[in-house]
């Protein structure tokens, strides 16, 4: 019986590896086309990716470096998530004209607002350059020599690759460094804000609903990419014209139903699907719980202040959301790994790996030590990895004052009494950055957070990592709150007026003296000193050994499980994932349907609530059932759906496409039970969440009154495949 269970477990792992994945667009014909067609795809691999001919890939871009966007018109109209455009829209908002809150649609091209710093990167072509990148690399080379040989090879690849002036060359490792791919890209820097629904729709459900199904968020926003008159990337200029992409996505008015083929094309950020049991345990049982506990404290404190004061809420809403997003994901991840027995699965998989080694003398000689050594190294790194996360979470990520001190360090330590020019030349930028910082900084909030963070650091880490110092300081001050009060109260970095006065009226020498003795800067410097002396060197010693063995383990798995198709872990490069629109059963006797609709928004509606309020106009449209051409045959307005596409962070904003390559939705999240998918993808419960294209169009047209934008789109209807 036990044996049988084990076998089933192994089969399910191998199946989960082969049925799902984030695939390389240039290899679809070889690796995936057949399977995709059997699942319902009506296109060829070449329609999806072609280095020479226009293909769907020409409509896909990396948005703002962290999300995905896609072209939905021949004139550069770009669709992405609301949460991806959030920062840009916030930048364009003022108290008088809060575009986030009210929603906004540019009434014509001339009123599209330049979104400074936002980029759109397209891939011209990609190419396997493993042979060149690994030239001169030998098996018994030290890691450092290996890397410097690869760096040399990559540098020469970059300089010899034929490219246009406006293109960039990037070379990236895949399969833990067993393969290398080159990407020719072009990055547009003139990107303008076209429109978005109000946050009450674009962020409906906010943090409570984040990572959760059933979902009712209209998570989209629109931008436009501008190019010079030759259609090439150019810095912002009022003379730029809308970019004409080689391909744009038609939008389906038919939507998708349970069982329909779907694919998601975009830029997934990072996954770790090939870790060992011990590697997964380190994340799921050690690091995740620590990070979650730290963020629990900081989030509760911020939330308390935000609920009391609307001005604080505006200032902290973006910061809160981003801290809460990873917090909630880690929480879901650690629970999911347990519930769905990730460690047991890894153990069974490793047992099978070992069994196969034992049957093959050549493999055995080569790889018998791999797993035991990896296991030991993960154990060795554990305390240091934990110390690293404690330091970065308590001292940098979750409080503002020490993080800001850290940011200022480069500048402060550039001071040279014999030559002050470097220091003074940086002053302008520092002032601008600090003005930015002060805009949303509330010392009373940060003080409360800092007290909690210092307490967590002082009470939970080791004396030799700085905990003893922090404890001592707290004792002397009369407790952690008093210590935080002292630091923030006496810090120039925490006080806008003091900081302004300092940098505008003092000499460089005086500025330097003041900041060097600033209590926040001094504390950060002290703690970072411990980190640099006690923790970092250990990580720098152990991590490269893990990387080396992980690379060998990856290669070994691909050899030993020859029958399995392996996809490379996500690394922010262009990938395609595919599957079907499908509900799931999260628990015994519970079944989740695949689609939500506007009725569900109204079920969640809480008047005046900061997460679940709904604009009056949406209520009116709902009451009148005024859904126009966006309604289903039975008169509902679909809002979101789920599918078995294997996605991760960075896939937000990615188009969800039907079998014909038409846009049916916009990827934006994953379901709670499956947030562990970065470490342990399980096709039975991992689902991606997409906002329905019909809801997007309805919100632009009926709700937003920006129906003129539809004139440049291509809407398709009635081409629905006969199914089943
Ligand atoms: N969980 C999604 C992702 O990882 C959406 C995040 C934005 N929404 C939020 N409420 N913070 O990015
Ligand atoms: N919400 C994520 C993103 O912003 C997507 C995910 O993690 O599923 O990319």
For ligand 2, whether the C-beta of 646 sits within 6 Å is: no
Q: What is the pLDDT of residue 14?
A: 47
- Both tokens of 23, joined, read 């695939």
Q: What is the pLDDT of residue 17?
A: 39
Write the residue with the smallest CA distance to atom 4 of ligand 2.
652
Q: What is the mean pLDDT of residues 275-304?
A: 98
Residue ranges covered by each domain of the chain? 2-119+189-272+569-716, 277-556
For ligand 2, whether the C-beta of 645 sits within 6 Å is: no
Q: What is the pLDDT of residue 15?
A: 46
Say if strands 77-80 and 179-188 run parallel, antiparallel, or are unpaired. unpaired
CA of 222 to the centre of ligand 1 (A): 18
Q: How far is CA 41 from the centre of its chain?
A: 28
Residue for token pair 């870790």: 275
- Both tokens of 548, joined, read 């080396």
- Which residues are tagged catalytic? 83, 219, 652
Compute the distance between CA of residue 82 and CA of residue 87 in angstroms, rounded to an integer: 9
CA of 147 to the centre of ligand 1 (A): 35
Q: Write down the pTM of the prediction.
A: 0.94
The highest-level CATH class for domain 2-119+189-272+569-716 is mainly beta
CA of 511 to the centre of ligand 1 (A): 40
Whose atoms come closest to the Cα of 668: which ligand?
2
For ligand 2, whether the C-beta of 648 sits within 6 Å is: yes
Secondary element (H or E) of residue 495: none
Q: How confident is the model at residue 318 (pLDDT cuts 50, 70, 90)?
A: confident
Q: Which residues, judged by CB distance below 6 Å to any ligand atom, belong to the binding site of ligand 1?
A: 83, 206-207, 210-211, 321, 324-325, 649, 652, 669
pLDDT surpassing 80 at residue 248: yes
Q: How confident is the model at residue 4 (pLDDT cuts 50, 70, 90)?
A: low
For ligand 2, whether the C-beta of 248 sits within 6 Å is: no
Compute the distance between CA of residue 444 and CA of residue 539 in angstroms, rounded to an integer: 35
Write the residue with the smallest CA distance to atom 7 of ligand 2.
649
The closest-lying atom of ligand 1 relative to the alpha carbon of residue 209 is 10
Write the residue with the smallest CA distance to atom 1 of ligand 2.
669
Whose atoms come closest to the Cα of 65: which ligand?
2
Mean confidence (pLDDT) of the chain: 95
Query: In this prediction, what percent of the chain has a pLDDT beyond 70?
Result: 97
Q: What is the pLDDT of residue 91?
A: 86
CA distances from 718 to 252, 254, 633, 723 (A): 9, 7, 12, 13
Q: How confident is the model at residue 90 (pLDDT cuts 50, 70, 90)?
A: confident
CA of 211 to the centre of ligand 1 (A): 7
Compute the distance between CA of residue 657 and CA of residue 255 in angstroms, rounded to an integer: 10
Whose atoms come closest to the Cα of 678: which ligand?
2
Q: What is the mean pLDDT of residues 323-336?
A: 97
Q: What is the mean pLDDT of residues 89-114?
A: 92
Q: What is the pLDDT of residue 10?
A: 56
Whose atoms come closest to the Cα of 267: which ligand?
2
Residue for token pair 């952690």: 480
Query: In this prediction, what percent of the chain has a pLDDT beyond 90?
Result: 93
Q: Tens digit of pLDDT for each residue in 585-615?
A: 999 999 999 999 999 999 999 999 889 999 9
For ligand 2, whether the C-beta of 650 sits within 6 Å is: yes
Cβ-proximal residues to 182 (8 Å cutoff; 6+ apart), any chain: 126, 127, 129, 157, 161, 169, 170, 171
Sequence length of the chain is 724
Which residue among 267, 640, 667 is best mutated to probe the pocket of ligand 2, counting the most ligand atoms within 8 A of its Cβ? 667
């Amino acid at each position: 019986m036990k044996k049988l269970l084990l076998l089933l477990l192994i089969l399910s792992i191998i199946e989960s590896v082969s049925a799902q994945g984030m695939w390389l667009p240039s290899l679809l014909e070889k690796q995936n086309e057949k399977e995709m067609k059997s699942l319902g795809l009506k296109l060829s691999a070449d329609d999806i990716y072609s280095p020479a001919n226009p293909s769907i890939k020409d409509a896909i871009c990396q948005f703002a470096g962290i999300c995905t966007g896609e072209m939905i018109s021949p004139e550069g109209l770009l669709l992405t998530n609301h949460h991806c455009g959030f920062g840009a829209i916030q930048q364009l908002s003022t108290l008088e004209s809060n575009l986030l809150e009210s929603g906004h649609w540019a009434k014509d091209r001339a009123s599209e607002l330049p979104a400074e710093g936002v980029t759109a990167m397209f891939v011209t072509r990609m190419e396997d350059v493993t042979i060149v990148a690994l030239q001169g690399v030998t098996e018994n080379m030290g890691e450092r020599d290996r890397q410097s040989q690869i760096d040399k090879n990559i540098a020469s690849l970059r300089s010899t690759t034929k490219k246009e002036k406006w293109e960039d060359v990037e070379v990236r490792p895949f399969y833990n460094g067993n393969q290398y791919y080159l990407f020719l890209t072009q990055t547009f820097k003139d990107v303008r804000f076209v429109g978005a629904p109000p946050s009450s729709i674009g962020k409906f459900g906010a943090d409570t609903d984040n990572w959760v199904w059933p979902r009712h968020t209209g998570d989209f926003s629109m931008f436009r990419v501008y190019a010079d008159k030759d259609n090439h990337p150019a810095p912002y200029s009022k003379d730029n014209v809308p970019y004409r992409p080689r391909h744009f996505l038609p939008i389906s008015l038919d939507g998708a139903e349970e069982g329909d083929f779907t694919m998601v094309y975009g830029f997934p950020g990072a996954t770790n699907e090939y870790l060992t049991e011990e590697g997964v345990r380190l994340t799921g049982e050690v690091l995740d719980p620590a990070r979650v506990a730290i963020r629990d404290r900081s989030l509760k404190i911020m939330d308390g202040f935000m609920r009391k004061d609307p001005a604080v809420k505006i200032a902290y809403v973006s910061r809160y959301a981003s801290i809460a997003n990873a917090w909630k994901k880690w929480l879901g991840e650690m629970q999911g790994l347990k519930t769905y027995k990730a460690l047991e699965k890894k153990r069974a998989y490793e047992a099978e790996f070992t069994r196969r080694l034992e049957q093959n003398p050549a493999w055995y000689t080569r790889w018998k030590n791999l797993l035991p050594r990896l296991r030991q190294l993960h154990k060795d790194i554990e305390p240091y990895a934990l110390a690293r996360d404690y330091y970065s979470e308590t001292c940098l990520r979750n409080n503002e004052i020490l993080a800001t001190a850290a940011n200022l360090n480069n500048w402060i330590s550039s001071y040279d009494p014999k030559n002050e020019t470097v220091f003074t030349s940086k002053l302008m930028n520092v002032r601008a950055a600090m003005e930015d910082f002060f805009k949303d900084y509330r010392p009373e909030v940060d003080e409360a957070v800092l007290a909690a963070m210092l307490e967590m650091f002082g009470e939970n880490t080791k004396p030799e990592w700085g905990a003893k110092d922090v404890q001592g300081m707290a004792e002397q001050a009369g407790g952690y709150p008093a210590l935080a009060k002292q630091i923030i109260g006496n810090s120039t970095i925490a006080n806008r007026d003091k900081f302004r006065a300092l940098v505008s009226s003092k000499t460089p020498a005086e500025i330097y003296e003041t900041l060097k003795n600033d209590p926040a800067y001094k504390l950060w410097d002290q703690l970072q000193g411990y980190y640099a002396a006690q923790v970092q060197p250990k990580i720098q010693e152990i991590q490269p050994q893990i990387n080396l063995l992980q690379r060998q383990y990856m290669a070994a798995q691909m050899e030993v499980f020859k029958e399995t198709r392996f996809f490379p872990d996500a690394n922010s490069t262009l990938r395609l994932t595919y599957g079907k629109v499908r509900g799931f059963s999260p628990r015994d006797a519970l079944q989740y349907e695949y689609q939500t609709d506007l009725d569900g928004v109204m079920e969640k509606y809480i008047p005046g609530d900061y997460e679940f309020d709904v604009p009056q106009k949406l209520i009116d449209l709902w009451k009148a059932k005024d859904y126009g051409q966006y309604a289903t045959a039975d008169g509902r307005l679909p809002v979101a759906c789920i599918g078995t596409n294997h996605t991760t962070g960075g896939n937000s904003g990615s188009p969800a496409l039907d079998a014909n390559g038409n846009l049916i939705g916009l990827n934006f999240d994953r379901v709670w039970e499956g947030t562990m998918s970065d470490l342990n993808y399980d096709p039975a419960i991992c689902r991606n969440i997409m906002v329905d294209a019909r809801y997007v169009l309805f919100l632009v047209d009926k709700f937003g009154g920006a129906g003129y934008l539809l004139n440049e789109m291509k809407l398709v209807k009635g081409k629905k495949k006969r199914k089943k």
